[in-house]
Structure 1
Amino acid sequence: MAGSIVAVVGGLNMDMIFEAERMPDVGESTDSSSLSNFPGGKGANTAIATYRGSRSKPTTEFTDGRGDEGDIRVFMNGAVGDDDFGVMLKTRLEQDGVETSGIRTISDTRSGTCVVIVETESGDSRNIAYQGANLKWTPRERNSVECLAGGEKPDLVIAHLGVRREEVERVLETASRSGVDTLLNPSPAIYLVNSTYKNLTHLVLNETEAALLSGRNVDELNNLAAWEEAVEDFIQLGVTNVVITLGAKGAYYATSDGQKGVVDAEKNINVIDTTGAGDTFVGNYATEYIKQKQLGTWDISRAVTRACKASARTIQRLGAQESIPWADEIDG
């Protein structure tokens, strides 16, 4: 993988995590057993997951963003405010090895902030986010994919909808036109222009997102036939590879050349916090894709299997970025 570069476009948020026995009912107040602040945001989480997914855990506390020959370099593109959270979010990425030249600091603006409520018994979480500076991000150069990777041409652009949809669609179009592979995780799910799909090498989304973007009721996506039908809609729109993540049921995948199947989730997992599981999936799927691309092969089932394993490691710890595993923790 010498020289491989991944550019990530998406949100950066400070996660304020409350642990409680259960979610409060409407009009009810309840106490939290703990409160923690953790750097997060789907874009930032994915950048760290991609970086760690190609490396063993370092023996020193901090990394320098370059790594050894054969590792993937990861560039984060997004925006933070000129507040304390903004400094913390950017510094954390730098300490974790992600290159931050694509992060813009927006004056007189708050950084993205997300309140996460985690049920201590099940580990399930619910989030509400204030996007703040994320919605003011624009690339430094409108029609350049190189500007997303410090002036170099990336091998893959990963995008989330934590920044404005119009900017994401423009980035994906620019990357595709430049011959750069793309991966979209449409979260939070909002309407996309149909022409966007033809610019996607990979579309990775959960059941709720798949239902919304394919015009279905989420209750309908509960069996193999329904998953196949929804994925086929996206392939007909021009997507090359589609993955629907299914939580405890694993993931369903299909490709435009006929590969399809289900990968089961890891078994006997002690779920602590599901925050960041989807981002970990995306980052490790991307890492495996880059590895195979350098070898001239593509077995999507292998990528989905590794991504499921990585996500299973994530949900056994509290917090998003703190819980993202390194390669040796996934493959060991």
Structure 2
Amino acid sequence: MAPRSIAVVGGINMDMIYSVDRVPGAGESKDAISLVQCPGGKGANTAVAAYRTSHRNPSKTKDFNDAGDGIQVFMNGAVGNDAFGSKLKQQLEDNGVNTSTLRVLDGEVSGTCCVFVEEGGESRNIAYQGANILWTPLEAGSISCFVGGGVNNPDLIVLHLGIPVDVVEGVLATAAEKGVDTLLNPSPAVPLSDGTYENIKHLVLNESEAVRLSGLGSGEVGDLAAWREVGSYFIGLGVENVVITLGGKGAFYATHRGESGFVEAEKGITVVDTTGAGDTFLGAYAVGFVRSKDEGEWDIAKAVKRACKASARTAQRFGAQESIPWSDEIDQ
């Protein structure tokens, strides 16, 4: 049997991470405590997370190709033909991600993101998307092109909104037509066209995104009853599985089968940097769903619990991709 595969569609950026005691106010200038340059972007982070959370640390196994359960991860996105683009592509490959479907665009600038990390670990981002907004599928109307080779369709396509929303909606529609499962993380949150939600198998979003897209609540969803209301709203639009990530509280889930529940966040951890924690959650959740295709039963609670654990591991370290845990670090 061919190995399972996850195709990720989203942004690829070089993160410039500034450590600050606090973010400056309007008209104020401040010096940062430190500056670190790290490969990032929500799409790239999620691809690395999907690979790492389905494979054991190769430095411990000594065999990069025999360190997991056979899930292949393909990155679909674009970088510029510049120094950052070369580093970003190499970083993905060093982390086991297949870049055969990655586009390198001549004359374009790779995406960059300035990340300001305050004391306590909370972060704020400002991104320039560059080549990201020029990405389109390698073949119009095709899904097999997302995993290269043109033979098999991916088992799951994970999408972010770091690329134009009309392109994302087109991929979702094509995937639904071909019977391919999808996961959408609507970040940044922008309104979607009527009917798009019917093409989404999994919708994973945070509290602010849930509020903005549903129109329910005011900034934070609040409590279990409110989370259920928001989950029901999206299920009513056609989504089969809804997950609302709640930061340090944990995550809420609901399904079209009537299941719902709340998973508490990991206890007793010291938060260093939340950058990439949400992307780690997505990657680990995606792995849980793809694994269920061989296990014969989809257990959303199990997938959410493991994703919360993986996300907590990331928040305990500085940076995005290098802080993402391997499978054996989650399941030890």
The TM-score normalised by the length of structure 1 is 0.96
1:50 and 2:42 equivalent?
no
In the alignment, which residue of structure 2 is the partner of 1:22? Answer: 22
Matching residue's letter, 2:136:
T
- Structure 2 residues without counterparts, runs of 5 or longer: none
State the shift of 1:219 in Å: 3.2
Percent of aligned pairs with the same residue?
A: 59
CA distance in 2, matches of 1:69, 1:320: 21
CA distance in 2, matches of 1:170, 1:133: 19
1:99 is paired with a residue whose SS is coil
Matching residue's letter, 2:117:
V
In the alignment, which residue of structure 1 is the partner of 2:245? Answer: 245
Matching residue's letter, 1:133:
A
Matching residue's letter, 1:308:
C
Matches within 5 A, 1:309-324: 309-324=309-324
In the alignment, which residue of structure 1 is the partner of 2:136? Answer: 138
Change (3 A) 1:57 1:262: same
CA distance in 1, matches of 2:53, 2:79: 25
In the alignment, which residue of structure 2 is the partner of 1:10? Answer: 10
Change (3 A) 1:313 1:69: closer
Matching residue's letter, 1:273:
D
Matching residue's letter, 2:271:
V
CA distance in 1, matches of 2:2, 2:275: 32
Deviations 1:92-142 (A, max 9, x none): 1011110001111122111000000001x2100000000000000001111
CA distance in 2, matches of 1:302, 1:60: 26
In the alignment, which residue of structure 2 is the partner of 1:124? Answer: 122
C-alpha contact (below 8 Å) 2:56/2:68 kept by paired residues: no
CA distance in 2, matches of 1:145, 1:215: 32
CA distance in 2, matches of 1:62, 1:314: 23
CA distance in 1, matches of 2:218, 2:183: 23
Matching residue's letter, 2:309:
K
Matches within 5 A, 1:176-255: 176-219=176-219, 221-255=221-255
Change (3 A) 1:75 1:220: closer
Matching residue's letter, 1:243:
V
Matches within 5 A, 1:37-76: 37-59=37-59, 67=66, 70-76=69-75
C-alpha contact (below 8 Å) 2:208/2:219 kept by paired residues: no
In the alignment, which residue of structure 1 is the partner of 2:308? Answer: 308
2:32 is paired with a residue whose SS is coil
State the shift of 1:2 in Å: 6.0
CA distance in 1, matches of 2:60, 2:306: 26
State the shift of 1:82 in Å: 1.3
1:155 and 2:152 equivalent?
no
The TM-score normalised by the length of structure 2 is 0.96
In the alignment, which residue of structure 2 is the partner of 1:98? Answer: 97
CA distance in 1, matches of 2:61, 2:164: 34
CA distance in 1, matches of 2:31, 2:68: 49
Matching residue's letter, 1:95:
D
C-alpha contact (below 8 Å) 1:63/1:95 kept by paired residues: no
State the shift of 1:218 in Å: 3.4
Matching residue's letter, 1:35:
L
In the alignment, which residue of structure 2 is the partner of 1:34? Answer: 34
Change (3 A) 1:126 1:261: same
Matching residue's letter, 2:51:
Y
CA distance in 2, matches of 1:305, 1:220: 22
> How many corresponding residue pairs?
330
CA distance in 1, matches of 2:249, 2:62: 36
In the alignment, which residue of structure 2 is the partner of 1:326? Answer: 326
C-alpha contact (below 8 Å) 1:2/1:71 kept by paired residues: no
C-alpha contact (below 8 Å) 2:245/2:251 kept by paired residues: yes
Matching residue's letter, 2:115:
V
2:244 is paired with a residue whose SS is strand
The alignment's C-alpha RMSD in Å is: 1.6
Matching residue's letter, 2:88:
L
CA distance in 1, matches of 2:293, 2:221: 31
Deviations 1:187-238 (A, max 9, x none): 1111111311111110000001111111234335111111111111100110
2:176 is paired with a residue whose SS is helix
C-alpha contact (below 8 Å) 2:5/2:72 kept by paired residues: yes
